[in-house]
């Protein structure tokens, strides 16, 4: 087999891995690049492959950096099936429609305010592109083997978010494992990630390959921040991924209220058009969660879901105390930018960066100490208290990644590290080679490797 790294190499975004076995070609993940402008510009380029030869796309999960390029792939001529787990199918529909709507809104806003360098500003894709994509999605349960040409494929839970999977791909002589994004062992909603089974080669994420997550739990961190928000009558703004991170935050906030550790009167606003839909999907799949899904469904009625653009605008005129959870998690777009303009200048307010901030994003700039960031063509002063904590992360940290790999049913002969910034990937590479004695490669973007190892001890 051969692997070509069309994305997710040297960066945490844009995951796209082309697997070729004889005449069969499949693409594992089909995500958007985010962060640095030179990466985002890649989203506007056609893939340097004949997409009509692809027999299928295999999705590990529904985050945009793994599924967001699908409408563009279809626009380039792909007509094959897109396989994923049932929850991933449901969520991908919501994610892609929301992505198109946000792009359309932002292009319209840029044209109205004349701050884009492009005339007119255009979205990457629109709702018609998404409409052509959704019928191609096909649901496959965990552990059910299926075939694409000569390749046998199987999903296994990676516990990153609802429906997230690792993917085994086998031909007659070789077996690959794509880890997907590996979750935490103590995630509040998701069960622990399953250990890797036997594979000749593992293509593994390395997002936090050079870090150990905070020892303070997300529960304790939220308890303090929500208490401060109530006491100071301030605004706590939490940029959060609408899928996964937001559900964890909502669950733990409700737990704090249920235990009387946070004032019940503290209003919590969840401002993303698709937010309530994602929460409903979480409650639809209780067997995928470690919590009581029925109780979670009942509890979330205490969250204020902001649905319309007008409701979102009015939220900026409110006074604290209040908590606003809004996408996007890295401040790359969406309604959170309007909240940033409204609340970042007030030093009494707090911005909690509760997720990974890719290099080049506004979230990364703020986490790095920037006192001004550019939003919609103008600079916004950042005087609010900035809290960055990776205790909320849905990604395994370095010790957890090493533990996951060490549990493999048979030691792989080779590991490729993807989905990480260069320093993180290289640090994890050194540890794998030193501690686990496995040859480890950090591939560059658009490089190809022949996998020549054969199944055996």
Give the span between the Cα atoms of 103 and 91, in whole angstroms. 18
Classify the C-alpha dihedral 359-361-362-367 as positive or negative.
negative
Closest CA to 131 of 100, 175, 107: 100
Give yes or no: residues 341 and 405 share one domain. Answer: no
Indicate the pLDDT class of residue 226, thresholds 50, 70 and 90.
very high
Closest CA to 32 of 116, 102, 107: 102
| Tens-place pLDDT, residues 124-142 | 999 999 999 999 999 999 9
Token duo for residue 48: 């340097």
Residue 153 C-alpha from the chain's centroid: 23
Q: How high does pLDDT run on average in the chain?
A: 94
User: Is residue 99 one of the residues assigned to a domain?
Assistant: yes
What pLDDT does residue 112 have?
81
Largest distance between two CA atoms of the chain: 65
Residue 299 near residue 258 (C-beta atoms within 8 A): yes
- Tallying the residues shown for the chain, one arrives at 457
pLDDT at 306 over 70: yes
User: Is residue 455 one of the residues assigned to a domain?
Assistant: no
All residues at 6 or more sequence positions from 146 whose CB lies less than 8 Å from its CB, including other chains: 83, 140, 152, 153, 154
Average confidence (pLDDT) over 323-339: 91
Q: What is the CATH number of the domain that holds 304?
A: 3.40.50.10890
Give percent above pLDDT 90 in the chain.
81
What pLDDT does residue 276 have?
83
Give the span between the Cα atoms of 140 and 85, in whole angstroms. 5
Give the span between the Cα atoms of 156 and 197, in whole angstroms. 10
Give the span between the Cα atoms of 174 and 309, in whole angstroms. 51
Give yes or no: residues 427 and 370 share one domain. Answer: no
Average confidence (pLDDT) over 232-239: 97
Indicate the pLDDT class of residue 274, thresholds 50, 70 and 90.
confident
Q: Which of 13-17, 137-141, 286-290 has the lowest mean pLDDT?
A: 286-290
Burial of 264 (0-12, 13-18, 19+ CB in 10 A): exposed
pLDDT at 453 over 70: no
pLDDT at 367 over 50: yes
User: Last residue of a domain, which of 372, 392, 412?
Assistant: 392
Q: What is the DSSP string of 216-244?
A: S-HHHHHHHHHHHHHHHT-EEEEE--TTT
What pLDDT does residue 116 have?
67
Total structural domains within the chain: 2
Give the span between the Cα atoms of 247 and 390, in whole angstroms. 16
Give yes or no: residues 10 and 23 share one domain. Answer: yes
User: Is residue 34 one of the residues assigned to a domain?
Assistant: yes
pLDDT at 457 over 50: no
Give yes or no: residues 173 and 27 share one domain. Answer: yes
Give yes or no: residues 104 and 201 share one domain. Answer: yes
| Tens-place pLDDT, residues 65-83 | 999 999 999 999 999 999 9
What pLDDT does residue 455 have?
44
Average confidence (pLDDT) over 1-22: 97
Q: What is the DSSP string of 141-198?
A: -TT--EEETTEEEEEEE--SSTT-EEEEEE-SS-EEEE--S---TT-SSSPPPPPP--
Expressed as residue numbers, the domain containing 134 is: 2-211+394-450
Residue 368 near residue 332 (C-beta atoms within 8 A): no
Q: What is the CATH number of the domain that holds 86?
A: 3.60.15.10
Average confidence (pLDDT) over 337-348: 96
Average confidence (pLDDT) over 342-349: 97
Give yes or no: residues 349 and 405 share one domain. Answer: no
Closest CA to 87 of 30, 32, 160: 160
pLDDT at 248 over 90: yes
B/e letters for 316-338, b = 16+ CB within 10 Å, e = fewer, are eeeebbbbbbbbbbbbbbbbbbb
Give yes or no: residues 135 and 51 share one domain. Answer: yes
Indicate the pLDDT class of residue 147, thresholds 50, 70 and 90.
very high
Indicate the pLDDT class of residue 365, thresholds 50, 70 and 90.
very high
User: Is residue 188 one of the residues assigned to a domain?
Assistant: yes
Give yes or no: residues 233 and 272 share one domain. Answer: yes
User: Is residue 332 one of the residues assigned to a domain?
Assistant: yes
User: Is residue 38 one of the residues assigned to a domain?
Assistant: yes
Average confidence (pLDDT) over 204-232: 95
User: Is residue 456 one of the residues assigned to a domain?
Assistant: no
Give yes or no: residues 173 and 131 share one domain. Answer: yes
Give yes or no: residues 51 and 118 share one domain. Answer: yes
Count, in order, helices (H) and strands (E) of the chain: 14, 22
pLDDT at 436 over 90: yes
User: Last residue of a domain, which of 370, 392, 414?
Assistant: 392
Give the span between the Cα atoms of 10 and 425, in whole angstroms. 8
Token duo for residue 158: 């990676």
User: Is residue 295 one of the residues assigned to a domain?
Assistant: yes
Give yes or no: residues 364 and 398 share one domain. Answer: no
What pLDDT does residue 356 have?
83
All residues at 6 or more sequence positions from 50 whose CB lies less than 8 Å from its CB, including other chains: none
Pair type for strands 16-21 and 24-28: antiparallel
| Tens-place pLDDT, residues 381-420 | 999 999 998 889 899 999 999 999 999 989 999 999 999 9
Using only the alpha carbons of the chain, give its radius of gyration: 21
Residue 247 C-alpha from the chain's centroid: 13
Q: Which residue has the higher pLDDT, 116 or 369?
A: 369
Write out the H or E segment, with its range, that includes residue 90: helix 86-113
Give yes or no: residues 14 and 144 share one domain. Answer: yes
User: Last residue of a domain, which of 342, 373, 392?
Assistant: 392
């Amino acid at each position: 087999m051969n692997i070509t790294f069309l994305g997710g190499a040297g960066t945490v975004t844009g995951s796209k891995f082309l697997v070729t076995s004889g005449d069969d070609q499949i693409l594992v993940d089909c995500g958007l690049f985010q962060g640095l402008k030179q990466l985002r510009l890649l989203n506007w380029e056609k893939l340097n492959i004949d997409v009509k030869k692809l027999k299928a796309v295999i999705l590990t999960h529904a985050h945009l950096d793994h599924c967001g390029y699908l409408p563009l792939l279809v626009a380039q001529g792909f007509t094959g099936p897109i396989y994923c787990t049932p929850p991933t199918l449901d969520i991908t529909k919501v994610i892609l429609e929301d992505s198109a709507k946000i792009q359309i809104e932002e292009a319209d806003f840029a044209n109205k305010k004349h701050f884009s360098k492009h005339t007119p500003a255009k979205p990457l894709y629109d709702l018609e592109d998404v409409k052509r994509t959704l019928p191609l999605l096909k649901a496959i349960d965990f552990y059910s083997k299926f075939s694409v040409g000569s390749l046998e494929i199987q999903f296994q839970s990676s516990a990153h978010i609802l429906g997230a999977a690792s993917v085994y791909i086998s031909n007659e002589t070789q077996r690959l494992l794509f880890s997907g994004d590996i979750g935490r062992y103590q995630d509040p909603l998701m069960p622990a990630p399953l250990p890797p089974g036997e594979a000749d080669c593992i293509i593994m994420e390395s997002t936090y390959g050079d870090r150990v997550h905070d020892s303070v739990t997300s529960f304790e961190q939220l308890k303090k921040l929500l208490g401060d928000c109530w006491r100071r009558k301030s605004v706590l703004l939490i940029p959060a991924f609408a899928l996964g991170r937001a559900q964890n935050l909502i669950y733990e906030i409700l737990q704090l209220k249920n235990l009387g550790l946070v004032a019940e009167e503290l209003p919590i606003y969840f401002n993303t058009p698709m937010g309530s839909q994602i929460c409903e999907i979480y409650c639809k799949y209780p067997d995928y969660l470690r919590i009581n899904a029925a109780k979670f469904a009942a509890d979330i009625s205490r969250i204020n879901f902001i649905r319309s653009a007008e409701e979102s605008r009015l939220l900026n005129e409110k006074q604290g105390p209040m908590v606003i959870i809004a996408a996007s998690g890295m401040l790359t777009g969406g309604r959170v930018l309007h909240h940033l303009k409204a609340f970042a200048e007030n030093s009494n307010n707090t911005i909690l960066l509760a997720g990974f901030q890719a290099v080049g994003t506004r979230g990364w700039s703020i986490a790095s100490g920037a006192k001004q960031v550019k939003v919609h063509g103008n600079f916004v002063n950042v005087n609010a208290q900035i809290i960055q904590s990776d205790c909320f992360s849905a990604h395994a940290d370095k010790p957890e990644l090493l533990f996951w790999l060490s549990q493999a049913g048979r030691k792989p002969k080779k590991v490729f590290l993807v989905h990480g910034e260069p320093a993180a990937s290289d640090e994890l590479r050194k540890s794998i080679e030193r501690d686990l004695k496995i040859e480890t490669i950090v591939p560059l973007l658009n490089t190809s490797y022949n996998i020549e190892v054969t199944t055996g001890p």
